[in-house]
């Protein structure tokens, strides 16, 4: 995969791709790339208005883009369910689901369902969404893929089952690390369950973007009202980060490359895994702990009320 770029993506005409957080950053660049290869792209956005603005940007670059902008607020499980129901009304199958949206290092807040926001949006929202869409992914002609966006920050995360919502002790970075660690535990456990039930035509793959210049880094400082932190982050992005287009490559590779198998972890292969062309990598040992993954799955099912139906044909 040395030097792999968007130009190496296969044709996707006739395929349907769902991208969460499609209105900015990695989601926007990913949606643009999928559209350029001919896919129908469902842009799942918390704000339809921002989604429409992003779609207009994509159409400037890809005039024949087939885009479907829909509201999907991962901080509200009822909204996630409604989004999934609306797709079921209009689509017979989904070929690729990119669990991309996320929030990072924000002051503590809660979702509509009372979950700590980073854990609720980054993990639980995507856990619920994937479960709701499992039948459509199974219905795809040929292989379908579920790509879950994690982060190198998973290495500083651990799942605190005694305080999952960080009500007793909250640190914005430790909470972010927990959510990104959860993304990997989920992605790998999902692949194990798919395999155990003979769903060999559905793959679960994880990825991370390295350090990419997106708006993700700015939400925390803005919510804190810190002009200084916002300015420092802008300088850091300008000096150290790769572009959002480059940062989207691991997700695009995980979603489309021929040599990807379930349970892989794809990230940029340059300095400190922060930038560069995508490659297969290894996440930390804790993210591969099957006992923790099974426990997190059970807790996530209880919290979201979403049961995965692997018995359907």
- Please list the active-site residues: 176
The secondary element (H helix, E strand) that includes residue 29 is helix 25-36
**What Cα–Cα distance (Å) separates residue 95 from each residue in 13, 31, 193, 256, 267?**
11, 14, 19, 10, 22
**What Cα–Cα distance (Å) separates residue 271 from each residue in 47, 217, 274?**
35, 20, 6
Tell the burial category of 14 from Cβ atoms under 10 Å away from its Cβ (0-12, 13-18, 19+): exposed
d(CA 208, CA 157): 15
Burial annotation 132-142 (CB, 10 A radius, 16+ → b, else e): bbbebbbebee
Parallel, antiparallel, or unpaired: how do β-strands 265-268 and 278-280 relate?
antiparallel
- Order of strands, sheet of 40-45, starting from the edge strand that comes earlier in the sequence: 66-71, 40-45, 16-20, 96-99, 144-149, 202-207, 265-268, 278-280
Q: Angle CA(164)–CA(169)–CA(170) in degrees, nearest 5?
A: 80
d(CA 112, CA 154): 25
Fill in the DSSP letter of residue 123: I
Report how far Cα 68 is from the mean position of its chain's Cα atoms. Answer: 18
d(CA 202, CA 142): 9
């Amino acid at each position: 995969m040395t030097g792999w770029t968007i130009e190496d993506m296969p044709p996707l005409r006739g395929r349907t791709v769902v991208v969460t957080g499609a209105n900015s950053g990695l989601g926007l660049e990913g949606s643009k790339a999928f559209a350029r290869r001919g896919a129908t792209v469902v842009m799942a956005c918390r704000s339809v208005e921002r989604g429409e603005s992003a779609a207009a940007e994509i159409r400037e670059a890809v005039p024949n883009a087939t885009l479907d902008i829909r509201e999907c607020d991962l901080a509200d499980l009822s909204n996630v369910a409604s989004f999934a129901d609306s797709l079921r009304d209009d689509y017979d199958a989904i070929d690729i689901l990119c669990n991309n949206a996320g929030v990072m290092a924000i002051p503590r807040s809660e979702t509509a369902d009372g979950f700590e926001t980073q854990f609720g949006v980054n993990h639980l929202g995507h856990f619920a969404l994937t479960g709701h869409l499992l039948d459509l992914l199974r219905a795809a002609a040929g292989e379908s893929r579920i790509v879950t966006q994690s982060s190198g920050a998973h290495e500083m995360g651990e799942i605190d089952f005694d305080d999952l919502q960080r009500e007793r002790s909250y640190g914005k970075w430790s909470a972010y690390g927990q959510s990104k660690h959860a993304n990997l535990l989920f992605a790998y456990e999902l692949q194990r369950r798919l395999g155990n039930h003979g769903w060999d035509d559905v793959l679960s793959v994880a990825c991370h973007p390295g350090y990419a210049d997106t708006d993700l880094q700015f939400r925390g400082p803005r919510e804190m009202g810190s002009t200084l932190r916002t300015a420092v982050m802008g300088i850091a992005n300008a000096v150290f980060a790769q572009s959002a287009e480059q940062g989207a490559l691991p997700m695009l590779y995980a979603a489309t490359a021929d040599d990807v198998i379930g349970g892989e972890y794809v990230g940029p292969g340059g300095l400190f895994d922060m930038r560069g062309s995508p490659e297969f990598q290894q996440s930390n040992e804790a993210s591969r702990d099957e006992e923790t993954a099974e426990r997190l799955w059970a807790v996530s099912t209880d919290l979201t009320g979403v049961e995965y139906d692997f018995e359907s044909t």
